[in-house]
């Protein structure tokens, strides 16, 4: 079983801020998630002009979906300075939409705090 410390470590290892071009960068935030099946996926943010980039959580989830999984047990995002960053609203909604069971996904918030997507996504617009 993957511990919260292990998940944090895996995300922190992936943080590697770098310039992709004059206007775009990547790696300032990294995410790691563990699926209900026990597999770990990681990803980094890609920041581009015109909102065409995406968050580290999206990148990790994309890898998970590519491998045929969609149920997330726990997830964390880590900034370049090592601090934990809660998922933005878009990420919270995305986590829920890829599998409604992800309402129970554990989200590491830092300072030994943990929440769920359900608690972080009140008043959902969908019926699920």
Tens digits of residue pLDDT in 71-115: 999 999 999 999 999 999 999 999 999 999 999 999 999 899 999
Question: Would residue 34 count as lying in a domain?
Answer: yes
Say how many domains are in the chain: 1
Alpha-carbon distance values, 7 to 2, 83, 113, 127 (Å): 7, 13, 14, 31
DSSP 29: E
Question: Would residue 69 count as lying in a domain?
Answer: yes
- CATH code, domain carrying 41: 3.40.140.10
Question: Would residue 83 count as lying in a domain?
Answer: yes
Q: Whole-model pTM? A: 0.94
Question: Would residue 21 count as lying in a domain?
Answer: yes
Domain assignment of residue 65, given as a range: 4-120
Tens digits of residue pLDDT in 16-63: 999 999 999 999 999 999 999 999 999 999 999 988 999 999 999 999
- The candidate with the shortest Cα–Cα distance to 109, out of 99, 117, 100, is 117
């Amino acid at each position: 079983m993957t511990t919260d410390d292990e998940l944090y470590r895996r995300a922190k290892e992936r943080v590697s801020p770098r310039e992709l071009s004059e206007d775009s960068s990547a790696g300032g935030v990294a995410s790691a998630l563990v699926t209900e099946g026990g597999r770990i996926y990681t990803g980094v943010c890609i920041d581009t002009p015109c909102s065409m980039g995406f968050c580290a959580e999206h990148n990790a989830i994309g890898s998970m979906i590519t491998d045929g999984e969609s149920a997330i047990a726990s997830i964390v995002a880590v900034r370049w300075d090592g601090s934990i960053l809660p998922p933005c609203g878009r990420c919270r909604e995305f986590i829920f939409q890829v599998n409604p069971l992800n309402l129970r996904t554990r989200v590491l918030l830092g300072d030994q705090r943990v929440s769920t997507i359900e608690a972080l996504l009140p008043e959902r617009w969908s019926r699920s």
